Amino acid sequence: MRAGIPEDARLEIKFTAYETEIPRLTQWLHLHKSGFGTPYPPRWINNVYFDSHEYFAYAENLFGSSNRTKVRYRWYGDYTDLQTGELEIKCKRNCFSWKQHFPITLDPSLAGASWREIRRCIMDQLPADGALWMDTHPQPVITNRYHRQYFVSADGRVRATIDSRQATYDQRYKPYPNTTRSGRPPGTTVLEFKFDRSDRSLASGIIQGLPLRVGRHSKYMMGVHAIHGY
């Protein structure tokens, strides 16, 4: 299930800050000479992260593997409404990242359904390669939710997002989705720049003046740590 880096893989560089710094970061983007604008309104993003029973995806991140993969079901807006979303397979090799997307529509009758029923409904809509990922990552570990703001440079070549107000819900050993009892990670904001490999020099010039340090940040890792209380 491992593969080489595809030609359309993008580079991603992350910075972390406290949530109190959001106004300063948005101002920095809006005043930058690259002319960052807001192409989309902000929205809430929700994810269910699936892993193997041995937590292999977590271990890849914990030990800093250069080859990492996450399996998640993503939807937007209302946290309790999982009906329309997609299964995402996010692959990362060093700084390169790419995704496989599998659109999913969950039956409204699944409201209040168990994880077993939700997973079966997802599996029924997947092609063989998507089903293989779910077979090897059957365990819902956490759901998380955060608020995302979108930015893009005037030439459209560098995109940026600011993610904040993160909340995490423990799903381990629970037959039904937990939507009420959350463990909240520290008030961390993630600023991420995304660009094609051909625009690496351009993006490096933009990022150079940012008053933050580059840092690793995995929302899945942070979520697992939050439910453990550290």
48 with 87: CB under 8 angstroms? Answer: no
Verdict on whether the full-model pTM lies above 0.75: yes
Residues 10-228, CATH architecture: Alpha-Beta Barrel (3.20)
Q: For the segment 164-206, what is each residue's pLDDT rounded down to a tens digit?
A: 999 999 999 889 999 887 776 667 899 999 999 899 999 999 9
Q: For residue 5, give both structure tokens.
A: 């880096």
Structure tokens at 119: 């997973």
What are the residue ranges of helices labelled H in 18-114? 22-31, 56-62
pLDDT value at position 42? 97
Give pLDDT tens digits for 55-80.
999 888 877 777 889 999 999 998 87
Closest by Cα among 136, 137, 144, 139 to 169: 144
What's the confidence (pLDDT) of residue 220? 87
Mean pLDDT for 106-129 is 88
Task: Look at residue 26 and give its three-state secondary structure.
Answer: helix
Instruction: Provide the 3-class DSSP secondary structure of residue 223.
Output: helix
Query: Both ends of the chain: CA-CA distance in Å?
Result: 32
Task: Map out the domains of the chain as residue ranges.
Answer: 10-228
Question: If pLDDT is split at 50, 70 and 90, which confidence band does 218 have?
Answer: confident
